[in-house]
Structure 1
Amino acid sequence: MASARDRVLDAYETLLIEHGAAAVTLDAVAAAASVSKGGLLYHFASKDALAGGLLDRLRERSAADAQAIRTAPDGAVAYYVRTSAPGGGVQGGMTRTYLAVLRLADNTVSGQAARDTLAAVDADAYAALRDELDDPLLAWLAQLVGDGLYLRTLTGTPLPSGLGVEDLLERMRRFLAAGNG
């Protein structure tokens, strides 16, 4: 069972995704998390603290994902592309947290902190890909492919008919082998 703190963060994510940062109040988060407002304030003393908790959650999930990228049996690029694609199953709820933080990035109050956190998440993934790929441009290219797939995941856009992630990976392997050799 999730802790009260996690329920609050889960509720905050949901409200951000469904209604945007401007519409989210502490009362609404407490109600959605099934905790009293005092219970919410025990964990997060303000709306800024709540946003900070969400950013911490994304950084934690990103660090775990970067470690998974580095230790993936089939390699960093394959892991990054597969888990970025629709249905790829990024572990630990990172997709929802990332999407919620994107909603915060548009907010004038917590927007800069959210953008800084998103940049750190991006840097984590790039560094993990660089561990596998010697060429920084190829690592960035692999990241951009994964990011494009991740955008499809976030927006619910399916892959083109008749094309799959394994087809993409096969072509990328050949391309990367030619450029990373």
Structure 2
Amino acid sequence: MFKAKILFVGPNESGKTVLANFLSDTTENVGGEYRPTQGVRILEFESQPEGSSDKSCEVELWDCSGDFKFESCWPAIMKDSSGVVIIFNPDVPSHLKEIEMWHSMFISSQGLQDSQCLLIAHHKPGSGVEDRRLPLASHLSRLLLIHSNLEEEPEDVRQAFCRYLGNVVNAMSESREREEMSIIT
């Protein structure tokens, strides 16, 4: 069974914790007021990655704080990560600019493949924003982008995450095979 370490990163108040709780079936602070994550929160659960030959995958979901006072911890948090999900609120114009920085710090620096990365435009309850095309930088437009709305289509978000997880598991499997072949040859 594969174990995938997935980082949830992005600006403060973008919905990282809400999505992490939803995907892991954690019922912490449901309907409560906003409390920023301090450092990182690690949630562990099993999931069924779509398109993967394995039946299930252990997921370690690292819900990272968007506060720059924890920046010195980020290299340790990134160590051995299998994938990165950048979550942002498309209603906040500064988030569109900030995701470029998150990409640079968490994706480019680790040399992850595009298939190991996911952008989630998280729509907060009552935002009224539709799944419109967002003005992303060219290097970001290569990444899979999903719109999440947990009020209207929560299972679509779960299915999209399972498809993404399948991509991560496949990338991990290919990497493991290459490593094994390099030992043999």
TM over 0.5: no
Higher strand share: 2
Higher helix share: 1
- TM score, norm. by length of structure 1: 0.30
